[in-house]
A and B are shown apart, each in its own frame.
Chain A
Amino acid sequence: MIPTIQWQTQTGTPVTAAGYTIRPVSQALALRWRGQADQQGFGLIWNRPTAVLVEKDGEVEEHPITDATRLTQLVLFLSTGLVLFLLRRLRHSRR
C-alpha cells in the first residue's frame, strides 16, 4: 500500500481581543500508511504555526511566526558543514 502524504495549510478559529481579530494559520504534514486489511500501519504528523492574520477596521495584516530555535540550529549545522567542506577542499589542494 502507498503511504498517504498530506501537506495542508489551515486557518483556525478566530480570536477577538482588544479590538483585534486574530486568525491563527498553521501548516501540517501528515504521513499515514495502512497495511492490507488495516492490520498494520503507522503515521507521522507534524504541525507548526506559520502566521497570525490580524484584522482591525477591515484591514488584514499578516504576522509571520519564525521558529528561532530551529533557525539557529539550521544555521549552526549548515555553517559547520560549510567549514568542514572548505577544510576538506583545503586538504585536497595541499596534496
Chain B
Amino acid sequence: MPGLRDHQRAVAAALLSGDMAAAAVMIGGNNPPADRLRIHRNTMLTALANALALTYPAAEALVGAEFFAQAARAYIQAEPPRAALLSLYGGGFADFLALYEPVRALPYLADVARLEWTVECAAHAPAEGRPQAEVDLGGTRLALSPSLKLIEVRYPAEPIWRAALDGDGDALSRIDMTHSRALLAVWREGDGAAVSTLSPAAGAFVIELLARGDAEAAINAAAFADPEGDPIAAITREILPAGFARLSPSN
C-alpha cells in the first residue's frame, strides 16, 4: 500500500508535468481525481506565474502578458520553487530566458530580467543598517547603503526597463538596442528600489570600495578605468548625490 510520501510524490509529479494518470489512480475514490488534480495544477501555475509577473513587470510588458505566461509556465516546470517564499522566487528566470528559444529575437530581454531581479532583491533588503563600506574622502564621510547591489549588463537594460514600465513605445523605439556594456547601481528607496547607470570611472570606484573599503585605491581604480577622464569629477557627479550614498562630515 502506498504511504504518505508515495502519495505526495505522485501528486507533485502530476502537478508539475500535467500528466495526471498515475496520481489519479493512486488517489482513487468516487470523484474524478484527474479533473480535480487539474484544479490544483492550475492554482499552482497561476500563483507562481503571478509571482513571476510581479517581479518581472518590464519583461512582461516587452513580450506581452500571454507570451509571458507561457514562458513563466515553462520556467516553473523547469525550476519550481524550493522555498515557500514567493516574493523571492524566480532568481533563475533571466538565465532561463537567455536560453529560451522563443525569445531569441530579443537578446536584451535576459538583461532586463536580470535588472528586475536585482531590483526585487534590493526592494526586499533593509533600507537602514550597517553600511557596506565607509570611507573618508577628505573631510566628508561616504557610506554605501546596505541595500546597494551592482549588476553588469551587455544591453541598455536601464532605459529599456524604464520605457517598458512606463508603457512608452516611442521611447522604446528610440533606444539603440545594440550591445553596450554598462554597470548599474540598484538600491532600496522608500517602498521600492531605484536604479542608475554608472560611468566606467564611477563604477570602478564603487566596485573597489565594496571590495576593499579603501578610498585611495578606489580613486586609483576610477582613474585607471577612464584614463582620459577626471575621476574626482565622475565621483562628485555620480556617487556623492546618489541615493545609495550617505554623506556626513568626518571627524
A binds B: no
Task: Please list the residues of chain B having a beta carbon within 8 angstroms of any beta carbon in chain A.
Answer: none
Task: Please list the residues of chain A having a beta carbon within 8 angstroms of any beta carbon in chain B.
Answer: none
